[in-house]
Amino acid sequence: MEQDLVLGIDIGGQSSKLGVVNARGTIIERDTFSSKGLNDLDSYINALTSSINALIEKVGGKERIKGIGVGAPNGNFYKGTIEYAPNLTWGRDKDGNPTTIDFANIVSEKVGVPVILTNDANAAAVGEMTYGAARGMKNFIEITLGTGVGSGIVIGGYVLYGHDGFAGELGHTTAVRGNGRRCGCGRTGCLETYASAIGVARTAREMLESQPDRASSLRDIPLEEITSKDVAIAAANGDELSKDVFKFTGTILGRSLADFVAFSAPEAIVLFGGLCKAGDLILKPTVEALEANVLTLWKNKVKVIFSTLDDSDAAILGAGALAW
């Protein structure tokens, strides 16, 4: 039987999403399961292989599956490992510390199909190149603006992995020097602390506190409960302070993008993830700051565009595309 399908898996802290993908990029079967209660590796792997096997059965057996592609936090493409991922409750050692899991080998042995693994932002970049806004592009940077900020850098049609498999951590480059925000990674001033959903909420809180006399519909929400979604809704409804939050966010992001361009000279930068829902509110200041800060030779040359992939499918499609 022809190997005309791949299986893409998107592993997150809360849940895992699986999809069987055909050559045209359509997800023909899917499943999702929660990580809740799966607190050790064996339990998780059992739940995962059950889900995989059920899907494979549905589409007519593993003879049709060319391979399994996995997008996982801290996924290492070279080794097929997940290394020290802080948000995976089942990825810890006996003392409860995040550890290294030989993930691709374990799953491949259990299921009997080749498994390839990468991190989630790289999977999104592969999905973008195969089915999304970067089709036909050989050099672009995918920036994922979600809870955190991730990136997948594509060079000559291939994802950049570097010497150790972890290249492309642009969320942890320095956006603000000196008095930058403290980041969960231990550094300060990381792009992630400004251009993520959490960063937007933080900026909103800071602006509300530092401009106490300024009116804003965000003041109806308890300060500590404001989310980036609240800010986006308020901005879309014309709230000036909320618009300024996105302007600030886009300015920080665009300045960083100018430096990224000097590194790899991409044809385009593709923005992906929840923050993109803000549309022009985030895009305009980002492009303005990029153009104001980029070296003359790249002015008006590098496109900044939104992903055309569906948020929840991107990692499945990207991980699946890896397996072709």
Provide, rounded to whole angstroms, the least separation between the CB of residue 153 and its own copies: 7
Nearest to 121 by CA among 18, 304, 271: 271
Say whether 196 sits in a helix, a strand or coil. Answer: coil
Buried-exposed string 99-131: b where 16+ CB fall within 10 A, e elsewhere: bebebbebbbeebebebbbbbbbbbbbbbbbbb
Does 298 interact with its own copies (rule: CB under 8 A)?
yes
**237-256 residues near its own copies, rule: CB under 8 A:** 255
Report DSSP state, residue 295: -
Cβ atoms within 10 Å, residue 20 = 23
Can you tell me which of 77, 103, 248, 260 binds its own copies, judged by CB under 8 A?
260
Q: Which is nearer to its own copies, 259 or 311 (CB)?
A: 259
**122-151 residues near its own copies, rule: CB under 8 A:** 138-139
Q: How far apart are CA 67 and CA 65, in angstroms?
A: 5
Does 89 interact with its own copies (rule: CB under 8 A)?
no
Does 259 interact with its own copies (rule: CB under 8 A)?
yes
Are 228 and 197 a contacting pair, CB within 8 Å? yes
Q: How far is CA 303 from CA 130, 173, 183, 283, 306, in A?
A: 18, 21, 29, 11, 10
Q: CA 23, 140, 102: angle at the middle one, nearest 5?
A: 65
Provide, rounded to whole angstroms, the least separation between the CB of residue 202 and its own copies: 19
Pick the piece of the chain touching its own copies (CB under 8 A) from 49-57, 160-168, 201-209, 269-277: 160-168
Can you tell me which of 84, 87, 147, 217 binds its own copies, judged by CB under 8 A?
84
Q: How many residues bind its own copies (CB under 8 A)?
A: 42
Tokens of 160: 């950049």
Can you tell me which of 96, 136, 157, 186 binds its own copies, judged by CB under 8 A?
186
Provide, rounded to whole angstroms, the least separation between the CB of residue 106 and its own copies: 22
Tokens of 322: 């890896």
Can you tell me which of 43, 174, 217, 227 binds its own copies, judged by CB under 8 A?
174
Pick the piece of the chain touching its own copies (CB under 8 A) from 55-63, 98-106, 272-280, 291-299: 291-299
Instruction: Give the type of residue at 23.
Output: A
**12-71 residues near its own copies, rule: CB under 8 A:** none
Provide, rounded to whole angstroms, the least separation between the CB of residue 154 and its own copies: 10
Provide, rounded to whole angstroms, the least separation between the CB of residue 302 and its own copies: 8
Cβ atoms within 10 Å, residue 87 = 15
Q: How far apart are CA 234 and CA 237, in angstroms?
A: 5
**What does the chain come to in residues?**
324
Provide, rounded to whole angstroms, the least separation between the CB of residue 70 and its own copies: 19
Chain residues in the site for its own copies (CB under 8 A): 83-84, 138-139, 153, 155, 160-170, 172-174, 176-178, 185-187, 255, 258-260, 262-267, 293, 295-298, 301
